[in-house]
């Protein structure tokens, strides 16, 4: 009788010895439940700086979201902030490193509220050069009267730098109509 070392005379296993020494077979991992999860695991080859690299679809979507956020698209910015908050929460739970400065993110309940309020008050207006841009976050320019009012309130403040002047000119509808305060030249 093969395997007799584990059985006694009556065909039973001896006390303390298993009839299944290898143990219960492990279950196969459950298959992905949704088609989107299968899609996110697929790999693709991208070329960055002339070097081909394989990444998953999920990584490609994340990189695109980062690019959109850097380009100023509000939905992408919100998504990246959410990722950062989740990462910070994970670090707080799993890797408390006191030497690492904590990133504090301050956001208003809805940035759209300020945009709408500024438009209602006439402080900003739609930038007509970008009519086909994002309908949810249209590009806007400051109205000259609002910029002039801000200049008038800056009395006694340090002079503007050339860089600040360039930024104000870029974001104002008709910057040549403004009475500019003193500029600090470098």
| pLDDT score for 141 | 86
| pLDDT score for 32 | 59
Q: What percent of the chain is predicted at pLDDT more than 70?
A: 76
Task: Give the pLDDT confidence of 97-153 residue by residue, as tens digits.
Answer: 566 666 676 665 665 667 777 777 788 887 777 666 666 666 788 898 988 888 888
| pLDDT score for 20 | 74
- Give 18-60 as a DSSP string: -S-TT-SPPPPPPPPSSHHHHHHH-EEEEEETTEEEEEEHHHH
- Going by C-alpha positions, the residue among 47, 76, 78, 74 that lies closest to residue 61 is 76
Confidence check: pLDDT of 89 > 50: yes
Q: Is the pTM of this model over 0.85?
A: no
Which whole number is the average pLDDT over 71-79? Answer: 87
The two structure tokens encoding residue 91: 């670090």
CA dihedral over 118, 178, 126, 170, signed as positive or negative:
negative
Q: Which residues contact 76 (CB under 8 A, 6 or more apart)?
A: 65, 66, 67, 68, 69
The more confident residue out of 104 and 32 is 104
In angstroms, the CA 125 to CA 139 distance is 9
Indicate the pLDDT class of residue 4, thresholds 50, 70 and 90.
very low
Question: What Cα–Cα distance (Å) separates residue 10 from each residue in 2, 4, 104?
Answer: 14, 11, 72
The more confident residue out of 5 and 86 is 86
């Amino acid at each position: 009788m093969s395997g007799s070392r584990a059985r006694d005379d009556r065909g039973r296993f001896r006390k303390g010895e298993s009839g299944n020494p290898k143990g219960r077979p492990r279950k196969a991992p459950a298959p992905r439940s949704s088609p989107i999860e299968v899609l996110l695991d697929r790999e693709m080859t991208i070329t960055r700086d002339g070097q081909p690299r394989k990444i998953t679809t999920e990584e490609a979507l994340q990189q695109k979201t980062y690019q959109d956020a850097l380009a100023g698209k509000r939905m992408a910015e919100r998504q990246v902030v959410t990722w950062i908050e989740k990462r910070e929460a994970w670090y707080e739970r799993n890797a408390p490193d006191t030497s690492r400065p904590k990133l504090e993110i301050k956001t208003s309940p809805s940035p759209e509220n300020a945009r709408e309020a500024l438009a209602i008050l006439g402080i900003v207006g739609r930038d007509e050069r970008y009519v086909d841009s994002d309908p949810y976050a249209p590009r806007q320019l400051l109205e000259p009267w609002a910029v002039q009012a801000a200049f008038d309130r800056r009395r006694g403040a340090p002079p503007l730098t050339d860089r600040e002047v360039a930024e104000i000119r870029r974001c104002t509808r008709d910057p040549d109509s403004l009475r500019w305060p003193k500029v600090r030249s470098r």
